[in-house]
Structure 1
Amino acid sequence: MALITLRRNLCHLSDFRIHGALAALRNHPVSRVHKIAEERRPPWFCPLPSEPVRVRFHHACGQKFHSENGNDLLHPAGELVFPPAHDWDTPEQNPSRVDEQTFYERLNHLTSSEEVLSFVSTLQALPDTLAAGALQRICDMERKDGDQKLPKEILKNSVFQALCVQLERESSSLPDPVLVTALQALTLLHADPQSSLLLNLVAECQRRLQRGGLEVHSLCILGESLIKLQGPGCATLELIICQLQGEKLEEFTPEDIVTLYRILQACTVKVNQHQAFLNRINTFSLSVVYSLSPALMSQMLGALVVLDQTQALPLFIKLGKSVVKHIPHFTNEELRKVLEAFIYFGHNDRFFTKALEQHVASACLTLGPDVVSKVMEYCSRKRILSKPILDAVAETFICQSEKFSPHQISELIEPFGKLNYLPPNASTLFRKLENMLLTHFHYFPPKTLLKILHSCSLIECHPVNFMAKIFSPHFLQKLQGEELYLDRLSLAQLTQLFLTSVLECPFYKGQKLLSKYQVRSFLTPCCSLETPVDFQLFRSVKTGLIDLLGARLYFASKVLTPYCYTIDVEIKLDEEGLVLPSAVHEDVHKRVALCIDDPKRFSLNSKHLLGKEAIKQRHLRLLGYQVVQIPYYEIEVLKSRGELVEYLQRKLFPQSTGVCW
């Protein structure tokens, strides 16, 4: 009844889904089994033409399988024989007499499952090794086509069914690599784990695993297949990992190393148990980085993130240098994983950024929304003001805005505000954004919408048409949700938007923000809308101010204004321009706000202020302050204390020829 059970299970193969890549044949045009066989032949051995292996069945019901041309696939005696071969030009080309190497060379040139089955059907009989290779090639073809299901015409094809029957009946006699390869191929098709075919293959693999002796590559394939079939909690997986730990890493191929990372990645709950093994793998992997393909590099980086291997920084840095030349060759998903790793490890590389700029600028319209939003997150996190990237992303959103989800739109727009950058097509970009928000306002989560509108205000693209909506009690209630209080960042963003409506949009006469939703300070330990002053830079400026003004009492530091901003240094002047003690509140004619800007207030390696610092200085000027910017790059070039005093005098009193005390 095994054959009947198999055929019934094959009828349900239409539910199979393709996930992941097939590693065994992709990089090896000749099967591993064939290579092993070649290595073990004595030097005097010369293969002679032999009859192909024929598989015999004892079930009469096997006669029910038919090929498309009407010939019985299984003869009455139970012998698995394919339809007669077509006549080829020469005897050497007759597929009934091809050896393994010729078979795999031809198989690797086929480009569709139909071609593979058509080729197999021309063979009079097929060895088990080649049957597994043909099945795996079919899976590989379907994965490349991007289909989510194996086509019904493939599932119902008599040749495909015969391949599965052959592997099930001969599972106990299959060589180890052929056995695990067949299991992997069917697993990637998401076959029913309870089908007789998979049950037989899994049981046979487990028997051989218990006996020991499976080579490294077979252990790796078996481990991944069992994770897909039974989940990372299966007991057999621990035995596989235990056996792999006993192997020498020098015997692992680069593909096996990456497979090992993927296996451990699936067992994150037990990562602490395997950390010593991971440390060995991380160290050894340094020697294989430059032999990895783009896909394998991406998978290794993804595993380092999932496994939280922050201590493997040397490995990540080497991978980061290696991926630079492969950026154009990554798929969207692979590039997303690479960017995620750079963000996770907090690393940036100017060569990587340059290569990313070139790739995004040339292929922006072909990149998926996930990749585009991840590119923008990378630039935002590392404060990278890359005009080629930002310009290309703006163009992508204008042309393909309907492809982006609300969250992806937020990740795309926020960096423009954070980096204080308006692209050349800014008017078209924000008109497109405004129309999308007006049309789909209720589809945007309240916090996502608030982030987008706040980011727009940072670069003076004020969302006047939405202010009444976001200041309304109804929106604020939705923003709060089921929490007792609104979070600090949302309150600060609302407050700054309201301050913007008062200072920069005096024509706005709509809903005001209730006082209970307004914060007193934008400077908070976390989620701050201001960057705290750098202590070392402040101390240098303070020393120069004391020398210039004569005493510490003539200026105040870290002054919280009534308008929520904190001023690094405040100096008060009377009507004649004389400096007043900081404790005096009467007769103050002008207030000077010194912004002591360290590198964290600028885009990376530039003199371009971040958006939150630009809006702060803009608002302080509108509030009547004389804003004096003291950037770090001007302080660093001063060579003496005297030069510092002269510099501060020119900054504070440009109209005076000198100040004497």
Structure 2
Amino acid sequence: MLFLNILQHNIYKFIYIYIYVFVYMEKMSRIVLQNVNINKVSLFNLLRHLNTAKNQNLKYKSSKLGHTSVLIQEGNEIRELPLIVRNVCGNDICTDSDCTSEINSNTMNLIDKLKDFNSESDRKKAEEEIVDVIRGFKKCSSVKSLIDLLEIVMLDEITPAVALCALKKIVELENFKFHVATYRVSSFLETRTNIDYTKTTILHKLLQIISNGDDQNSVVEALELIPLDQVKVLPSDVYKNILSQEILCRVTESKLNINELCRSIDTFSKLNDFKKADQLWVGIMDKNSQIDESNIITVFRIMYLLKKSRKTIMNMLERRFQDFWHKLNVDELIEIIYTMKLTKCVSIKILEIISRWINTNIHTISETNLTSIVIELNQIGYVDIGIVKALERYVKAKHNAIKNPSLLVEIMKYSSKFNIQSEKIFDGCAKYLVNFNQQLNPSQIRDIFWPFGQLNYKPKCPINFWKTIENIMNKEFFNFKSHETLDMLIACVFLEKHPLNFIHRVFNPSFLQQLYDEGGQIDHTKMKLKLIDQCMTLECKHFQGPVLPRDKSAKSIWIDFRIKKVIKYVSNNIEHVFKDFNISYSIFLSQLPIMSIYFIDALVHPKNSEINYKYINFKEYPGLCSAIIIHLPEHYCWESENLIGMEETRIRHFRKIGLNVITMNYNKLNELKYPAEITEYIFDRYKNMLGPL
């Protein structure tokens, strides 16, 4: 057994590899310890030389393989990967003189064979004979005629390619015969014994020719026949073991190219032999120089079939991808992103390069392909400035020429997920909604409109925009799903547009019953209804509310642990700034519903006051108390200091009831290390607090 303990520093330093080789002899064993010091030599070339023993006075006569594992360090990560090992016994090792004599004899045999092909005409004649034989195989309509032809051409003289063609034809004929409904069972039974006996001998001989030949493609194609053989013409266990061992053996000798390796991995997975598929990572790493724009997609396609070696292969693809990314087309890039999503093995470096490609070629991408790119990036959870700039340029230039509304829908979903408040994207979508709303179904209208409220963006053409939204709501109100209707109304109140004409349709028994029948998260739906009711009550003078009864039952509200932690961290500084006041932490006010939007991180109220701050009407005492709100990173729009719609509404409602509002940035508080800096920041926010409305 071979154990490798690898300590790899960087490419400019030595690679120290300690190799422990256990050679088991008959009735005895001995341990050989080799300490190899290598400078700038590929690990995988080393493994190949060790396995083939090209530079040693040893030669393997046995193709038996063993399995072990190796520890590979890449940066800060250490992985244990499977490794192929040749098992060597004493009888399988020959001396240097034996190797020399065998090589000489093999060389003489090769020279003797080449004497038959001294002239170009002889070689062409041989090639023509091979083509004729293959044509003869293809013309055979039964297994018996094919076997008769094989007996004529003499099996000992055919090449692996010809043997593979014969093997394919036998499998094809047997499987075709199995699927023919008019096949006569009696006739089949009469000839089955004789043909099967002859066929089995022929199959073994053909397999032997393929295994002993130097045609790597024939070995791989022979393995690919096994999962296609539904009739089991090839005994799967026997043939699979022989061909699997042969492929693994050739991988250790670095004979398979990158395409053959990928095909082998794919076939092993179809045979449910994922362990052998994972062992071929050594071959892919050894042949990484063969990876280019023509076959890199092939390597990506087999990524999901690998388990332990997946991350190692991805790191190698990162390095290769940088050399020819500009030569790939958009379909290949989409497949790469899809593969990373499927394997959950995301490479930020590759995504950054893809972002650069998109930013460079945005106007040459079709609507269908761009839609697929945005969907995949949304699902994989990646955004950067290059992609945002590219989408901005595209929407600005083509918002009136876009034929597929799904593209804008997916762009707005992407903006919604990552809180991207882009003026160019939102204004382009607003104009599209005004001009082409007849082409949109209710769900698409909701998906385009919702981010306006979610990210608190007011379009530059408000009159036409809001007229269009009102007309759509009037016309399509009963075509929207219930939760889509609530989202439309919430987006309106976030933007301080009060949908008074539609409120009576929502707080209606038939609508509420429809909402219940659609199912979904009941608690979340209740919160939406309460939020609409409370927003209209506080902000719309013509709304006689609240409509919903106040929920006074005790309940638990989830509070972000980050808020608790930072409050504990800066509580002394807050109390120092507001030393003339009392501070109450983590509270709800009685005049507001118990909802997460109305949660106050800290409330500053006067000392020795006879008024209970929890129950007073703050409108009668405007500015008496101040609410401190700490905003987490997700409360802000992407790469911006603008707050999202929910947080803006939260601040606005606290000001509406008569509170001062002091906002603080969670990241800023964590960046400040010294108490004096924290105190100065809190005092600055206190001076810039927002007064009651």
TM-score normalised by the shorter chain: which range applies? 0.5 to 0.7
Q: How does 1:510-549 map to 2 (within 5 A)?
A: 512-513=547-548, 524=558, 533=563, 535-536=565-566, 539-540=569-570, 542-549=571-578
Matched-pair contact (CA < 8 Å) for 2:269–2:277: no
Is the aligned partner of 1:603 residue 2:633?
no
Match of 2:426 in 1: 390
Query: Per-residue CA shift, 1:558-579, capped at 9, x if unaligned?
Result: 22023131223323359xxx97
TM (normalized to structure 1)? Answer: 0.56
1:546 maps to a residue whose letter is E
Query: Per-residue CA shift, 1:95-151, capped at 9, x if unaligned?
Result: xxxxxxxxxxxxxxxxxxxxxxxxxxxxxxxxxxxxxxxxxxxxxxxxxxxxxxxxx
Q: 1:652 to 1:281 in 2, by over 3 A?
A: closer
Matched-pair contact (CA < 8 Å) for 1:216–1:252: yes
**Per-residue deviation, 1:497:** 0.3
Query: Per-residue CA shift, 1:465-493, capped at 9, x if unaligned?
Result: 3222222222222222375x953222111
1:622 maps to a residue whose letter is K
Q: 1:381 to 1:355 in 2, by over 3 A?
A: same
Q: How does 1:50-61 map to 2 (within 5 A)?
A: none
| From 489, 492, 496, the counterpart of 1:460 | 496
Is the aligned partner of 1:555 residue 2:555?
no
Matched-pair contact (CA < 8 Å) for 1:560–1:566: yes
Q: Tell me, what secondary structure is at the counterpart of 1:503?
A: helix
Q: Tell me, what secondary structure is at the counterpart of 2:283?
A: coil
Q: 1:473 to 1:548 in 2, by over 3 A?
A: same
Query: Per-residue CA shift, 1:444-477, capped at 9, x if unaligned?
Result: 2222222222122211223323222222222222
Structure with the bigger RCO (C-alpha within 8 Å, sep 6+) is: 1
Q: For 1:397 and 1:177, how far apart are their aligned partners in 2?
A: 56
Q: For 2:318 and 2:503, how far apart are their aligned partners in 1?
A: 54
Match of 2:384 in 1: 349
Matched-pair contact (CA < 8 Å) for 2:453–2:494: yes
Q: How does 1:80-91 map to 2 (within 5 A)?
A: none
1:609 maps to a residue whose letter is L
Query: Per-residue CA shift, 1:499-548, capped at 9, x if unaligned?
Result: 122222232359934557x998996459xxxx9857437743x4344224
Matched-pair contact (CA < 8 Å) for 1:537–1:632: no
Matched-pair contact (CA < 8 Å) for 2:420–2:638: yes
Q: Tell me, what secondary structure is at the counterpart of 1:569?
A: strand
**Per-residue deviation, 1:345:** 4.8
Q: 1:368 to 1:262 in 2, by over 3 A?
A: farther
Q: 1:424 to 1:520 in 2, by over 3 A?
A: farther
**Per-residue deviation, 1:220:** 5.5
Q: 1:356 to 1:648 in 2, by over 3 A?
A: closer
Is the aligned partner of 1:276 residue 2:308?
yes
Q: Which moved more, 1:454-463 or 1:369-378?
A: 369-378
Q: For 2:654 and 2:462, how far apart are their aligned partners in 1?
A: 25
Match of 1:444 in 2: 480
| From 557, 579, 600, the counterpart of 1:567 | 600
Is the aligned partner of 1:217 residue 2:251?
no
Structure with greater proportional strand content = 2
Q: How does 1:459-478 map to 2 (within 5 A)?
A: 459-478=495-514
Q: How does 1:258-273 map to 2 (within 5 A)?
A: 258-265=297-304
1:478 maps to a residue whose letter is Q
Is the aligned partner of 1:331 residue 2:363?
no
**Per-residue deviation, 1:275:** 1.6
| Gap regions ≥5 residues in structure 2 | 1-116, 122-127, 140-214, 222-227, 230-239, 251-255
| From 626, 641, 646, the counterpart of 1:593 | 626
**Per-residue deviation, 1:631:** 5.6
Q: For 1:613 and 1:475, how far apart are their aligned partners in 2?
A: 28
Q: For 1:276 and 1:652, how far apart are their aligned partners in 2?
A: 55
| From 344, 356, 362, the counterpart of 2:397 | 362
**Per-residue deviation, 1:496:** 0.8
Identity over the aligned pairs, expressed in percent?
Answer: 19
Match of 1:499 in 2: 534
Q: Tell me, what secondary structure is at the counterpart of 1:276?
A: coil
Q: 1:354 to 1:57 in 2, by over 3 A?
A: same
Match of 1:401 in 2: 437
1:479 maps to a residue whose letter is L
1:258 maps to a residue whose letter is I
2:463 maps to a residue whose letter is S
Is the aligned partner of 1:431 residue 2:467?
yes
Is the aligned partner of 1:618 residue 2:652?
yes
Q: Tell me, what secondary structure is at the counterpart of 2:625?
A: strand
Matched-pair contact (CA < 8 Å) for 1:568–1:593: no
| Gap regions ≥5 residues in structure 1 | 1-41, 47-51, 61-174, 182-192, 195-205, 227-231, 268-273, 655-661
Is the aligned partner of 1:307 residue 2:346?
no
Query: Per-residue CA shift, 1:24-64, capped at 9, x if unaligned?
Result: xxxxxxxxxxxxxxxxxx9x999xxxxx999999999xxxx
Structure showing greater Rg: 2
Q: 1:611 to 1:244 in 2, by over 3 A?
A: same
Q: How does 1:69-84 map to 2 (within 5 A)?
A: none
Match of 2:524 in 1: 489
Q: For 2:272 and 2:577, how far apart are their aligned partners in 1?
A: 76
Q: 1:306 to 1:550 in 2, by over 3 A?
A: same
Q: For 1:299 and 1:584, how far apart are their aligned partners in 2?
A: 57
Q: 1:645 to 1:471 in 2, by over 3 A?
A: closer
2:517 maps to a residue whose letter is G
Matched-pair contact (CA < 8 Å) for 1:255–1:296: no
1:617 maps to a residue whose letter is I
Q: How does 1:137-286 map to 2 (within 5 A)?
A: 216-217=258-259, 234-235=270-271, 245=281, 247-249=283-285, 250=288, 251-265=290-304, 274-286=306-318
